[in-house]
Structure 1
């Protein structure tokens, strides 16, 4: 066992949950009340296996628990597992399960439920979208009522990070098998702080307190009403009129106006999120790196950052978010029309080409951004048609493999774990489940680097592999990376304990309402 791993495990094994409720000017947290959120995206499913959009994920984490969880800390923290140990070869992990935990229907959470859930996570035939996350798991077993053992095929540097994602959420085995995937997706049962009271697709999701939640005294709220409000102006009016106490994704152009309201604060927080334009490399000419370079050089990111984002972000020098092993030394593409024309002249489409690109309807920033790209790319002979569609449609169409371009609001793209492995598997490992984020990018060097980083617990080796991967992705990947973005949330002064985690979701069990 290396000293580095030993230190990590010593920290993990001693990490027992201690409720640390947020304190405000009003003193101790108050129980009760209904919080209303105006949210930009809606869930497509509430089943941890099968979710892939932030609209779903951010609600799933309110309903379910995992063995370890992502918090505002550099490493995953204890959750349903109070601690864990690992063998000297880093291939056998033994988790001590928290005792007395119940699901929201009152049934006890057992080691069999944990095994069932982790086995589904490890089965690529079940976990089809994120099969790479659980691919290292060889076997699981219950060594006792409160002892769960996972045996890996080989050491995995991101094992705890993968367990902290939403996918291996613990579900009740007997109930899941009785209900089936589809029914459980509509009316799930978990051991998280809240449970589903009502879900009206296209309108709202209503959550209520789980009376059996294992964190003593939490959650504080009786109920959370999450309204789907895709129009950004309407969302801001909701929080301005106090129809909602939280509104997500404050438009850049309205940050100052909303923050100036007497009863509302705009929380701008660093998160692992970003914005980009993605291309389908199965279709010509997007399989040509020279075409992608031309589009990158023809994108005026500095001007867009200033005029559209009012400086509230950074130009991206990576195809994924700025996560643990991000290398600041990698250069972003500058705006250079001469280089753009030169790259296109060397490409398979030297005379230019036409494309259609999907964007999210109702998001003025994304529309303005797309219109700038449309205008600028026309200067090198690329004609772009903009198609604005709702979030559900955009995921369905892009995932079909039939589209040639899409961009998605920065609210929809973020890391689900603290290390790079999560996003690296999704975006760069063609064999990882969704064919490199449905771009079809099948690069053997990229796949090898993802597996090299994942297959070691040596931090320096992991960092070196991810730095190489970053440079390769910037040179070859079919995308135009745009900006690293920040969370921008309008929050009523009645709301206490609210914050955005680095993974961009929220622990709403910590939130309470002042009188």
Structure 2
């Protein structure tokens, strides 16, 4: 298996991803046969998750990978990253110097996949619907800065923002801004189940068993008008119960590609280059893992408890013993490679220290063991999560300062319970909506944040986040981002743990696999085709 290095175009504020790949790179097509992609994401529909694929409800990277091919947005992030480019639109731009008025003009002749006409009023309806429903699980917070949406004509609309926001184009490029039809998506209630209809490059049909998605089958939409160039006619995303089953299917040829999430042992085997007929692609990732806190819960309300945990947690041990070369310690909400990244937690707490943690607790008048339960999801991020939390428990209890228990819960129950405030401490992962440092700050700390955390810092919300959004040149937002990271390290509403890489393994007759994942971990199935090994 030959190895090569491919350098993708740099994303603003990011290090250029470097991918190690093997095999063919010529573009091709699917030749009429569906390209099958394996994932370990679990999609269920039920009482706790009634509308897993409604853009007003879902705010999860795995579900967005299902929405993205079927729902079209005004803008699209290019495959190599950078500024969003028009998709349903032909032109979008700020029309004022303050970045408060954003005007878009639609392509002519846009249609939904059923042939119905798509106009500016559909775009307004779709975004108003997300904000109107404002589901606690959903992405409405991305659009809380919209004051009004004005439809100038059937093909033109203007977004009037409450405050300047240079990141607004990125938000319009997310599946949360996917354009839906009035007759299919009700204005005030969620669309239950797994159906998705829009004007995207593919139409979607799903195979469901016992309220769990088994397959998502995407077929080329002949009515699509946009910027994407499809390299195939049909793609099937298949959900596996674990990485081992997914890996077996790849080796047997049952599937053509697998990603999200490979196990550390699979990554080690594939990176050795000994697996025949399979290409292995590694790239820098922006996905992070962290502990979140319900800062109103009595057990962690005193920030000294959260600070003591920050002084005890050994990120290096977690990365090396649980995840190996696939992860590296993270000392800020903003990951390495993003403009404005600092190591604020390391600067404040240094290396893990029982002495420092004991001092913090003693100075706060806390002399008894702190009793906590750390909650995690046992079916969303892979089996290593349980090992990670067992190690966290061991690290904290070994200090003699904590009495920690751990509890794993399925995602469909875990996420609603976290939002409801049932957990004092919980573990989550974050894959960014778009590649900008703002998306590692506002979703956690802004008003209406996706954690539904009671923590609110006035300086962050009213000064530093607004200041960062004024800068059209995103590198100029570094100063307020650094201020925010220092505040987070002191108050510890969240405790960052590690940053991961991202991986794709594909049969060697598949082309475009090097573009299958964006820098923000978005699955770009339209890039995949069949070529010559």
Q: Normalising TM by the smaller chain, what interval? A: 0.7 to 0.9
3-state SS in 2 of match to 1:272: coil
Task: Give TM-score, length-normalised by structure 2.
Answer: 0.83
3-state SS in 1 of match to 2:185: helix
Deviations 1:203-228 (A, max 9, x none): 41322212322258953434333232
Deviations 1:447-496 (A, max 9, x none): 22223323554656632211111111122123321111111232222321
Q: Does 1:196 align with 2:207?
A: no
Task: Give TM-score, length-normalised by structure 1.
Answer: 0.86
Q: Does 1:432 align with 2:453?
A: no
- The answer to whether the 8 A contact 1:133-1:162 is kept is yes
Instruction: Identify unmatched segments of 5+ residues in structure 2.
Output: 1-22, 45-51
- The answer to whether the 8 A contact 2:163-2:466 is kept is no
Distance 1:28 1:146 in 2: 34
Aligned with residue 160 of structure 1, among 144, 169, 174: 169
- Give me the CA root mean square deviation: 2.7
**Residue 263 to residue 77, structure 1, CA distance change in 2 (3 Å):** same
Offset of 1:51 from its aligned partner?
Answer: 0.9
Deviations 1:415-470 (A, max 9, x none): 101222233221012x2244xx1332122222222233235546566322111111
Q: How does 1:139-178 map to 2 (within 5 A)?
A: 139-177=148-186
3-state SS in 2 of match to 1:189: coil
Distance 2:76 2:405 in 1: 42
2:17 equivalent in structure 1: none
Q: How does 1:18-167 map to 2 (within 5 A)?
A: 24-25=24-25, 28-43=28-43, 45-71=52-78, 72-89=80-97, 90-123=99-132, 125=134, 129-167=138-176
- The answer to whether the 8 A contact 1:304-1:369 is kept is yes
Q: How does 1:267-286 map to 2 (within 5 A)?
A: 267-286=281-300
Distance 1:355 1:331 in 2: 22
2:14 equivalent in structure 1: none
- The answer to whether the 8 A contact 1:162-1:422 is kept is no
3-state SS in 1 of match to 2:317: helix
Aligned with residue 326 of structure 1, among 331, 334, 340: 340
Distance 2:173 2:228 in 1: 23
- The answer to whether the 8 A contact 2:43-2:63 is kept is yes
Q: Does 1:352 align with 2:363?
A: no
1:466 equivalent in structure 2: 481
1:484 equivalent in structure 2: 499
Aligned with residue 370 of structure 1, among 368, 371, 389: 389
1:494 equivalent in structure 2: 509
1:255 equivalent in structure 2: 267
Aligned with residue 252 of structure 2, among 227, 234, 241: 241
Offset of 1:95 from its aligned partner?
Answer: 1.2
Distance 1:346 1:392 in 2: 40
Aligned length: 486
Distance 2:249 2:289 in 1: 26
3-state SS in 1 of match to 2:319: helix
Aligned with residue 186 of structure 1, among 174, 183, 194: 194
